[in-house]
């Protein structure tokens, strides 16, 4: 991400933290909400407008830059060995997923059959992995970057894939909280690349939505898993009928 993109990402987090929306920013700058959305999406903003927003947020421009730099230093990915240590310990894996989703110590202890001592032990392991900082009073501060991800093809992703294969699709996807879309069509390599970029934007919107709702009580939020996948792929049955490529 460019420095402008990183700076605007830090600004958006400041807006969310103080409960402001694009509509508020539009009012401050005398613009339409659509113009503000486009300004953030295209990562194009004048210094005067940036300073005006900082003024309304009661933060110095230098503070915003410092926040951006702090975010950039946060953990973006674990090593293969670190992920393996989490994947091999299901109790640690449970706690890791909880804290990455914003659970407090009390939330974990209340929702799962872990004693306070067991929960503390696992949190200390995550602190050694630099995923979190365990503060006095068992407060948890996440140390991961907004774009933190599990390693592609790594131990955690492999665990999820195995779980998804065995459990995730055992549903009719007909309840109010479920939806399954299977899309099939013909795309060029360029079209495939464009679709992957759209999927990446959807993933970003999902994480931003999680951030916006992070202030809600844990009792009002529920584990939500979304699977986005694309392959140049054809079922083996169809391959048996395919003609060999012409030379």
Q: How far is CA 61 from CA 54, 72, 208, in A?
A: 6, 17, 23
Q: How far apart are CA 136 and CA 27, in angstroms?
A: 40
Q: How far apart are CA 191 and CA 172, in angstroms?
A: 30
Beta strand spans in 50-199 (E): 132-135, 139-142
Q: How far apart are CA 165 and CA 208, in angstroms?
A: 27
Q: How far apart are CA 19 and CA 211, in angstroms?
A: 12
Q: How far apart are CA 128 and CA 123, in angstroms?
A: 9
Q: Which pLDDT score, from 0 to 100, does residue 102 have? A: 85
Q: Which pLDDT score, from 0 to 100, does residue 96 have? A: 93
Closest CA to 96 of 42, 150, 22: 150
How far from chain centre, in Å, is Cα 66?
22
Give 3-73's CATH code, choosing from 3.40.50.720, 1.10.260.40, 1.25.10.10, 3.90.45.10: 1.10.260.40
Q: Which pLDDT score, from 0 to 100, does residue 4 have? A: 77
Q: Which pLDDT score, from 0 to 100, does residue 25 have? A: 93
Q: How far apart are CA 86 and CA 156, in angstroms?
A: 8
215 exposure class (CB count in 10 Å sphere: 0-12, 13-18, 19+): exposed
Q: Which pLDDT score, from 0 to 100, does residue 72 have? A: 57
Whether 119 and 109 have beta carbons less than 8 Å apart is answered as yes
Q: How far is CA 154 from CA 44, 87, 160, in A?
A: 36, 10, 10
Q: Which pLDDT score, from 0 to 100, does residue 209 have? A: 86
Whether 99 and 148 have beta carbons less than 8 Å apart is answered as no
Q: Kindly indicate whether the domain formed by 80-142 is annotated with CATH number 1.10.10.
A: yes
What is the DSSP code (8-state) at residue 243? P
Q: Which pLDDT score, from 0 to 100, does residue 119 have? A: 93
Q: Which pLDDT score, from 0 to 100, does residue 239 have? A: 60
Task: For Cα atoms 101, 106, 108, give the angle at the middle one, nearest 5 degrees.
Answer: 50
Q: Which pLDDT score, from 0 to 100, does residue 55 have? A: 92
Q: Where are the domains of the chain?
A: 3-73, 80-142, 171-236
**How would you write the pLDDT of the chain (247 residues) with one tens digit per residue?**
567 777 888 888 888 878 888 999 999 999 999 999 988 888 888 889 999 999 999 988 888 888 776 665 667 788 898 999 999 998 999 999 889 888 899 999 888 988 999 999 999 999 998 888 898 999 998 888 767 888 989 999 898 888 777 788 888 888 889 998 888 888 999 999 999 999 988 988 888 888 778 778 888 888 888 888 777 776 665 666 556 776 6
Q: Which pLDDT score, from 0 to 100, does residue 116 have? A: 92
Q: Which pLDDT score, from 0 to 100, does residue 167 have? A: 81
């Amino acid at each position: 991400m460019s420095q402008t993109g990183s700076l605007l990402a830090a600004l958006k987090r400041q807006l969310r933290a103080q409960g402001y929306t694009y509509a508020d920013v539009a009012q401050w700058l005398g613009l339409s909400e659509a113009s503000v959305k486009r300004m953030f999406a295209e990562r194009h903003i004048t210094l005067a407008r940036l300073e005006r927003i900082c003024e309304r947020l009661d933060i110095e421009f230098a503070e915003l830059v410092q926040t951006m730099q702090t975010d950039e230093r946060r953990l973006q990915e674990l090593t293969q060995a670190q992920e393996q240590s989490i994947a091999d310990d299901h109790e640690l894996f449970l706690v890791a997923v909880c804290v990455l989703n914003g659970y407090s110590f009390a939330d974990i202890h209340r929702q799962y059959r872990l004693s306070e001592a067991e929960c503390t032990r696992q949190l200390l392991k995550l602190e050694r992995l630099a995923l979190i900082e365990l503060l006095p009073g068992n407060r948890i501060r996440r140390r991961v970057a907004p774009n933190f991800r599990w390693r592609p093809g790594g131990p955690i992703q492999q665990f999820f894939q195995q779980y998804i294969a065995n459990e995730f699709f055992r549903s009719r996807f007909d309840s109010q909280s479920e939806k399954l879309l299977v899309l099939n069509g013909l795309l060029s390599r360029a079209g495939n690349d464009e679709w992957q970029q759209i999927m990446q934007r959807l993933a970003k919107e999902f994480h931003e939505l999680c951030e916006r709702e992070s202030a809600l009580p844990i009792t009002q939020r529920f584990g939500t898993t979304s699977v986005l996948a694309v392959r140049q792929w054809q079922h083996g049955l169809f391959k048996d009928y395919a003609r060999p490529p012409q030379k």
